[in-house]
Amino acid sequence: MRQQKRQILTDLLFLIIIVVVLILYRMPSAAVLYPVLLCALAWLVSMGIGGYRTYRRYASLGKILDAVGLDLEQEFLPGAKTAGNGQETDRESCAWELLQEILEGRGENHLEEGDWESHIYREMVKRLLLEQRRRQDIMQMRHQDTVDYYTTWVHQIKTPIAAMGLMLQQQDTEDSRRLSEELQRIEQYVDMVLTYLRLGSRDTDYVFARVDLDHLLHGCIRKYAGQFIRRHLALDYRDMNCQVLTDEKWLAFVVEQVLSNALKYTREGSVSIFLEPPCILCIRDTGIGIAPEDLPRIFEKGYTGYNGRGDRKATGLGLYLCRQICHRLKHTITAESTPGEGTLIRIGLGREVLEVE
C-alpha cells in the first residue's frame, strides 16, 4: 500500500472531481451515488487483485531468502527470533524480517514506485556475496590452521622416526633392515600428508633454480639403497650431465615416489634410470607392470587399480601428487607399462637445458 499510495491518491482525486462536477450540474443523488459505488467497487477489486499478486511475489521472495540461507548468521538480523535452547533459528521468521528490513530501506535506501522488487534482488545478491566472502575467509583460515597443525605434527613426529632410525642402524640383522625399510615407508607417508595439504594452499614455497640432475638423483637413490640391497635388485644408472630449471625439493619428491613404486612392485630384475633427449628423465623397472585398463587412470586421485587392491596398502595418492607437482613445475609425467614386463615412467623436465659452464 505504501508503494501504491501515489496511484491511490490520484484515483481518489479523479473520483472527487467527477462527484463535484456531477453535483455542480445538480444531478440526482442516485445518479451520483450509483456510479461512485460502482467505481469504488471496481477499484477495490482491482486493488485486491494487484495486492494479491504483490503478496504472492513478496511471499516468493521470502521463500528465496529462506532457501539461500541469508538468515543463518545473526549478524544480518540482530533481532532474529530463536527457538528451543537458542541454537535453532526460526528461518521463516528471519526471512520475513530480513525482507521487511530490505523493503523499508532502513532510512538510507528510498525506493521508487515499482522498484521494490529490483531493490530486494540487488540487496539479496549483495548480501549473498558478502556471506560468500565471509565463508571463504573462514574456510581459508580453517585450511591454514589444518596445514599449520600438520606441519607442526610432521616436524614433531620426524624426531622419534629419526631416533628409531639411528637405533636400528646400530644393528645389522635381517629384522633391523626390515624395520628400517618400514620406518622409511612411514616417513614417506608423513611427507605425503604434508605435500597433499600444501598442494591445496594458495601459498607455495617453490624455489626455481638450476639444479644438477645427477646430484638430485644420487640423493634419491642413496635414500633407497638399503631396499635395493635387501631385495637384490640391480640399479642401471647412467650419468645425466645436465642441469634443469626446477624446484629441487618438489622434484625430488616426485622421483622418490616413482622409485618407491618401482621397488614396491619389482620382485626381481632391475631398475634403470636414464635420460632421453631433449630432457626427459626415464625410470624403468622390471616389475609386475600395470593392467591396460588401469594405465589411463593411475594418476587419478585415490585410484589404486588392480595392483593396489591386491596389495591393500596403496593409498592412490602417490602418483596423483606426482602429477599435480609436475603440473605446477611445468613438467610432464607419463607412464607406459606391459603386465609382467615392467613400467616406464617419463618425466619431461622441459626443453630448456642449462649447460654447465
C-alpha cell at 104: 523499508
pLDDT at position 332 is 93
CA 230 to chain centre: 42
CB contact at 8 A, 217 and 254: no
Positive or negative, the CA dihedral 162, 163, 166, 172 is negative
pLDDT at position 108 is 44
The DSSP 8-state label assigned to residue 269 in this structure reads S
> Residue 72 and residue 74: Cα distance in Å, rounded?
6
> Residue 262 and residue 285: Cα distance in Å, rounded?
6
CA angle 351, 261, 247 (to 5 degrees): 35
CB contact at 8 A, 207 and 328: no
Tens-level pLDDT at each residue, the chain (357 residues): 666 777 788 888 888 888 888 788 887 877 778 878 888 888 888 888 888 887 887 777 767 766 665 543 434 444 444 444 443 445 555 555 666 666 555 444 444 545 666 766 777 777 777 888 888 889 888 888 888 888 888 888 888 888 888 888 888 788 888 888 888 888 888 888 888 877 766 666 788 899 999 999 999 999 888 888 888 899 999 888 888 999 999 999 999 999 999 998 898 999 999 999 888 999 999 999 998 998 989 999 888 776 666 655 667 788 999 999 999 898 999 999 999 899 999 999 974 444 544
pTM of the model: 0.61
Place of cell 629441487: 248
pLDDT at position 116 is 62
Residue 89's φ and ψ, nearest 5 degrees, are: -100, 140
> Residue 76 and residue 153: Cα distance in Å, rounded?
39
pLDDT at position 233 is 92
pLDDT at position 303 is 81
Work out the widest C-alpha separation in the chain, in whole angstroms.
Answer: 127
pLDDT at position 333 is 94
> Residue 243 and residue 217: Cα distance in Å, rounded?
12
pLDDT at position 17 is 86
> Residue 178 and residue 355: Cα distance in Å, rounded?
41
The H or E element that residue 210 is part of is strand 209-212
Residue 181's φ and ψ, nearest 5 degrees, are: -65, -45
pLDDT at position 85 is 44
The Cα-based distances of 323 to 51, 66, 196, 262, 318 in angstroms read 61, 43, 12, 16, 9
> Residue 55 and residue 50: Cα distance in Å, rounded?
9
CB contact at 8 A, 70 and 62: no
